[in-house]
Structure 1
Amino acid sequence: MRFGLPRSLLSRNIALLVALVALSQVCSLSVLLHYVQRPRIERASIIFADYVTLLDTTLAAMPAAEGRAAAARLNARSTPPPEVTEAPDDTPPSLIHFFRTWQRDLFVAALQRHLPPDLLVRWDASHDTPSPLQERLWIRVHAAGAPVWISLPMTADARASGISTALVLSAGLALLAALTGYLLQRHLNRPLRELARAARRVSAGDTPPPLPTDGPTEIAAVSHAFNQMTDALKQAEATRALMLAGVSHDIRTPLTKLRLAIAMALPRGSNDALVAASESYLDQIDTILQQFMDYAGSGEREAPKPGDLNALAGQLVADFAGLGHEFEFDEGMLPVFDFQPVAVMRLLMNLMQNAVNYGRAGLAIRTMREGDMACVVIGDRGSGIRAAELERLKEPFSRGANARTHSGGSGLGLAIVDRIARLHGGTLTFRDRAGGGLEAVVRLPLDGSISHPRAT
């Protein structure tokens, strides 16, 4: 299993912050140990060595009886204590134990260096001393002319006094720094999430409200640039719609005059074949113009309303049956949900007309529910097209190789269907049909995630 960097910016920044805090804590503890604790322990060992040397000199100078009595008051023993410098095996390892052991060993080594060679030092951390406050330091001194071992109380420096507090404070500061970084990153990520949502709305054909530009300078610059982009897209969209409406109006007017002129120039019965051909060409031009207008609009100005997708599909099946094209209709269980009825009707009509034109046989349509999506599948038994070409046909002005026998189109049929599906937050996909042929699959969300219509 491979472990890579976290994918989100929040996770990466938090991981980086935690790593930096951990590194700073390690550096701080290293400075504390080597430049604060070590000199402190060194000074304590010098003072303690002077105290032990003075005690040894005093006991050695006292009369024998008084020296033995003084040594007895110090719990002196003639036999050396066991050499025990490690904690019991059942003591769980911890950072506090590590620092306490480090300071203890450092103190004993420094003390032994500052004592005369015949004054030996041993540390007793055996099972008989379960608490750090009961640990004993044994030192061999001379009383009544004989060496004896006495235990002396330990200084706070040798018992890691203050280290526990320092470690707890360090851990608390590290957690506070990580929490602060997390909150700051959440605050910075909020405008980025809003930018991502706005970008998705633009890709679905909607115009989102302007993003706020009162945040950090870098985020504000990005939001300002995005607002400028959406304004430019909105203006371009309005210009395109106006241009297509003007072109459609300006072309349809002479087309109508041309149709009238042909009817007047060629009276009925004089050349019916030429009249029929001319009217067919005019109808094709009018159809192409209508497809341009449909693609420019694609239902963007239609308000969504609750509707029955099964009823809409059933109505179209009946309409196509009246034209001599029988579709097998398999009606699934679908709830009423919000969609644009005219746009969705255009979507289904285009797909059904493609099935009639290119599939001819085995026409079928079925509806079903897939999770939180309403699904419509339109199939035929035609020769089929490769998936790569079908994806290409979703682009405007793209036509398949078998479209040459079907004139009157501009290559915008599937582009219109794909645009309407995306406007609803759905998808258009193609797949091979079991037993041969092709299926077009439209999925629309049931949760009403359709983009709001643009203002005109």
Structure 2
Amino acid sequence: MTARAEAGAQADASADAPVDGAPRAVSGAGRRFFSRLMPRSLLARNILLLIVLIAVSEACSLIVLLHYVQRPRVERAAAVFGAYITTLDTVLSATPRESRDALVARLDARADVPPDALDQPPTNPLEFYRTHELGIFLDTLHRYLPAGSDVRWEPERARGAPQHMWLRVHIADTPYWIALMLPEEAQGGRLVSALLLALGLGVLAALTGFVIQRHLNRPLQHLADAARRVSEGDAPAPLPLDGPTEIAQVSAAFNQMTQALQHAEATRAVMLAGISHDIRTPLTKLRLAMAMAGAPRDEAFTHASESYLDQIDTILQQFMDYAGSGEREATQAGDLNGLVSQLAADFAGLGHDFELSLADLPPVAFRPISMMRLLMNLMQNAIKYGRSGFAVRTWRDARAVYVAVGDRGSGLTAAELEALKAPFQRGKNAHSGTSGTGLGLAIVERIARLHGGTLQFHPRDGGGLEVWVVLPQ
């Protein structure tokens, strides 16, 4: 019995879960849709918020103006006008019949309403204020007109011309139509001025907010530019501390961070120089001692020791390269194909021929020593792990310049290739005869990022691997 009840409770809970989850899903979808509509920059968001606030404020002001200011004025004008028509109808009804014709001619009265007269005032969405006020005036006027009276609207003869309406009155107890000018309160002329003034003030407020926001965003832009220069290895000038207090505090914190980074960089440079000197000095002395050792001499032991010393020196150089990575080196426009050709010739002198396929490239901005280190590491990796089919090709498109170093080594999976970018990682195709620390591709990837580029791995047509260095133009 208890198990059955627990099963029912679980069924009820599972049945209720979609109902409870639906609002959360809808809410999450709504947030994602709203985030896609929102602009990304702070300037655009603040300007959009300012425009929305001004629009809402103007709409509320317009509603208050129409309902609490203009409506009472129009209703009061309609009441006065209705009372005037009632009085006029009473006076004209008491006119003697012998004077009717003269009075009809004097008032330009007509027995029939003009054929182009309208029962209702014309509507124009672009002039909603006129339609709104005319409608209020008409509704109020009908409540004050005497029995037997009626109203017709005369179409507007010209843009901006005074509007008239035809009213049915009784002259000597005979119905006639006379034309009277529409009161100014019902024509919306003053409201037009108020609307234009409100629109002008709204535009002025939006422009003022835009200027203020641009002024506030300028220090943020300077901060972003300085941070970008720091990431590229430059030492930007200290940011100014004027402006709003909050932005000044951010600028002061950034200046302190930059000084700390510069101090750390100086300390690192001294430490690297010390390590290089203190380790390579005893290594040099050891080489010299082994070379000057007299007989008897174990040639196999001497050869192995020299090999170990070479490996230590190579590992030390890789650590130095990874720690340095050329941030302090100046960027200059150069011939990337020329650098590739020079390195290929150097490797050809060592017995490793690279097939070159070089496209016509424009001058590319790069750090010469760092770029030479990048290409050399890639070409050395191709020799170590590829063993054959060495090739370098270059090409370009509208956005970037490409350098690809390929070989015919055994392929690796995408996950393994991406893992090789991390320090101290070596691929499974690295044979036991190779030496190194696994920093080669980490150095290459770091130098590529230093140039604003990326490092990519692609399978090579016909087998093997290509490593692409993508440099923005």
The TM-score bracket by the shorter chain reads 0.7 to 0.9
- Is 2:319 the partner of 1:292? yes
Query: Quick one: distance in 2 between partners of 1:30 and 1:409?
Result: 78
- Partner of residue 162, structure 1: 190
Within the candidate set 223, 227, 245, 2:255 is matched to 227
SS in 1 for 2:185: coil
Cα drift, residue 45 of structure 1: 1.8
- Is 2:275 the partner of 1:247? yes
Query: Quick one: distance in 1 between partners of 2:68 and 2:77?
Result: 15
- Cα–Cα, structure 1 residues 28 and 95, in superposed 2: closer, same or farther, change >3 Å? farther
- Cα–Cα, structure 1 residues 336 and 22, in superposed 2: closer, same or farther, change >3 Å? closer
Within the candidate set 199, 203, 216, 2:231 is matched to 203
Cα drift, residue 325 of structure 1: 1.1
Tell which deviates more after alignment, 286-295 or 400-409: 400-409
Within the candidate set 409, 414, 420, 2:447 is matched to 420
Superposition pairs of residues 426-441 of structure 1, within 5 angstroms: 426-441=453-468
Query: Quick one: distance in 1 between partners of 2:295 and 2:332?
Result: 48
Query: Quick one: distance in 1 between partners of 2:152 and 2:71?
Result: 19
Cα drift, residue 33 of structure 1: 0.7
Query: Quick one: distance in 2 between partners of 1:86 and 1:140?
Result: 15
Superposition pairs of residues 124-135 of structure 1, within 5 angstroms: 124-126=153-155, 129=157, 133=161, 135=163
SS in 2 for 1:140: strand
Query: Quick one: distance in 1 between partners of 2:118 and 2:330?
Result: 86
Cα drift, residue 134 of structure 1: 5.1
- Kindly provide the CA deviation profile for residues 420-450 of structure 1, in whole angstroms up to 9, marking residues without a partner as x: 333333333221111111112223455xxxx
SS in 2 for 1:157: helix
Cα drift, residue 269 of structure 1: 5.0
- Partner of residue 107, structure 1: 137
Higher relative contact order (CA 8 A, sep 6+): 1
- Is 2:370 the partner of 1:343? yes
Cα drift, residue 346 of structure 1: 1.6
Cα drift, residue 80 of structure 1: 5.4
Superposition pairs of residues 167-316 of structure 1, within 5 angstroms: 167-262=195-290, 267-268=294-295, 270-316=297-343
- Kindly provide the CA deviation profile for residues 372-403 of structure 1, in whole angstroms up to 9, marking residues without a partner as x: 64432211011132333333322333333334
SS in 2 for 1:434: coil
Contact in 2 for aligned 1:86/1:126 (Cα 8 Å): no
Question: Partner letter of residue 163 of structure 1?
Answer: L
Question: Partner letter of residue 210 of structure 2?
Answer: Y
Cα drift, residue 126 of structure 1: 4.1
Q: TM-score, normalised by structure 2?
A: 0.83
- Cα–Cα, structure 1 residues 121 and 437, in superposed 2: closer, same or farther, change >3 Å? same
Question: Partner letter of residue 385 of structure 1?
Answer: L
SS in 2 for 1:162: helix
Contact in 1 for aligned 2:168/2:176 (Cα 8 Å): yes
Query: Quick one: distance in 1 between partners of 2:393 and 2:405?
Result: 7
- Partner of residue 11, structure 1: 44
Contact in 2 for aligned 1:373/1:445 (Cα 8 Å): yes
Within the candidate set 82, 88, 96, 1:63 is matched to 96
Contact in 1 for aligned 2:121/2:153 (Cα 8 Å): no
Identical pairs, percent:
59
Query: Quick one: distance in 2 between partners of 1:426 and 1:135?
Result: 71
Question: Partner letter of residue 404 of structure 2?
Answer: V
SS in 2 for 1:405: coil
Query: Quick one: distance in 2 between partners of 1:398 and 1:204?
Result: 25
RMSD between aligned alpha carbons?
A: 2.7
- Kindly provide the CA deviation profile for residues 31-57 of structure 1, in whole angstroms up to 9, marking residues without a partner as x: 111111111112212222232232223
Superposition pairs of residues 25-44 of structure 1, within 5 angstroms: 25-44=58-77
SS in 2 for 1:401: coil
Structure with greater helix percent: 2
- Cα–Cα, structure 1 residues 87 and 146, in superposed 2: closer, same or farther, change >3 Å? closer
Cα drift, residue 28 of structure 1: 1.1
- Kindly provide the CA deviation profile for residues 308-352 of structure 1, in whole angstroms up to 9, marking residues without a partner as x: 332322222122122221111223223445533322222211111
Query: Quick one: distance in 2 between partners of 1:322 and 1:145?
Result: 125
Query: Quick one: distance in 1 between partners of 2:250 and 2:262?
Result: 18
SS in 2 for 1:418: helix
- Kindly provide the CA deviation profile for residues 266-321 of structure 1, in whole angstroms up to 9, marking residues without a partner as x: 64554222222222222211111111222233333444455433232222212212
- Cα–Cα, structure 1 residues 133 and 356, in superposed 2: closer, same or farther, change >3 Å? same
Question: Partner letter of residue 412 of structure 2?
Answer: I
Contact in 1 for aligned 2:457/2:467 (Cα 8 Å): yes
SS in 2 for 1:375: strand
Contact in 2 for aligned 1:241/1:296 (Cα 8 Å): no
Q: TM-score, normalised by structure 1?
A: 0.86
SS in 1 for 2:189: coil
Contact in 2 for aligned 1:393/1:415 (Cα 8 Å): yes
- Is 2:125 the partner of 1:94? yes
Contact in 1 for aligned 2:359/2:395 (Cα 8 Å): yes
- Cα–Cα, structure 1 residues 5 and 336, in superposed 2: closer, same or farther, change >3 Å? closer
Contact in 1 for aligned 2:223/2:251 (Cα 8 Å): yes
Query: Quick one: distance in 2 between partners of 1:391 and 1:268?
Result: 51
Contact in 2 for aligned 1:85/1:125 (Cα 8 Å): no
- Is 2:76 the partner of 1:76? no
Cα drift, residue 261 of structure 1: 5.0
Cα drift, residue 26 of structure 1: 1.2
Q: How many positions carry a matched residue from both structures?
A: 438
Query: Quick one: distance in 1 between partners of 2:90 and 2:136?
Result: 25
- Is 2:379 the partner of 1:352? yes
- Cα–Cα, structure 1 residues 232 and 214, in superposed 2: closer, same or farther, change >3 Å? same
Q: Structure 1 regions of 5+ residues with no counterpart?
A: 447-456
Query: Quick one: distance in 1 between partners of 2:386 and 2:71?
Result: 88
Q: Structure 2 regions of 5+ residues with no counterpart?
A: 1-32
SS in 1 for 2:186: coil
Tell which deviates more after alignment, 105-114 or 140-149: 140-149
Question: Partner letter of residue 119 of structure 2?
Answer: T
Contact in 1 for aligned 2:166/2:179 (Cα 8 Å): yes
